[in-house]
């Protein structure tokens, strides 16, 4: 890798960092167990047998995006007052 390529890579990383900081996003290392990979496959968020780290990261990200909507749906279907199962 020559100097120009290193500078370009550093520029891209800086832009990505600033973008995450602006959005309040975090970049975190994540360990995904085999049973979690199977769950992502069952949810059709990951192709069966695909173990590419980029694809797995994308599947986890899509799951997290959907999780808030699913939680809101559960809250509307089963209000806390009706079930008496307060989480906190």
Q: Are residues 38 and 78 in the same domain?
A: yes
pLDDT tens-place string over residues 23-59: 999 999 999 999 999 999 999 999 999 999 999 999 9
* Same-domain check for residues 48 and 79: yes
pTM beyond 0.75: the answer is no
In a shared domain, residues 46 and 73: yes
Q: Cα-Cα-Cα-Cα dihedral of 18, 19, 22, 26, to 10°? A: -90
49 CB-near residues (< 8 Å, 6+ apart) = none
Q: How confident is the model at residue 86 (pLDDT cuts 50, 70, 90)?
A: low
The pair of three-digit structure tokens given for residue 68, joined into one six-digit string: 């808030």
Domain match, 71 and 44 both: yes
- Owning domain of residue 10: 1-29
Q: How far, in Å, CA of 26 to CA of 21, rounded? A: 8
Indicate if the pLDDT at residue 88 is higher than 90. Answer: no
Q: Check residue 80 and give its pLDDT.
A: 79
Q: How many domains does the chain have?
A: 2
Q: Are residues 19 and 55 in the same domain?
A: no
Angle at 35 between CA 30 and CA 59, to 5 degrees: 50
Tell me, yes or no, whether 42 and 56 share the same domain.
yes
- 65 and 86: one domain? yes
């Amino acid at each position: 890798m020559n100097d120009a390529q290193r500078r370009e890579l550093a520029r891209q990383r800086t832009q990505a960092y600033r973008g995450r900081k602006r959005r309040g996003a975090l970049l975190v290392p994540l360990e995904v167990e085999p049973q979690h990979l199977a769950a992502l496959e069952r949810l059709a968020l990951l192709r069966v047998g695909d173990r590419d780290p980029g694809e797995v990261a994308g599947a986890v990200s899509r799951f997290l995006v959907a999780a808030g909507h699913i939680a809101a749906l559960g809250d509307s279907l089963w209000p806390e007052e009706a079930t008496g199962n307060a989480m906190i």
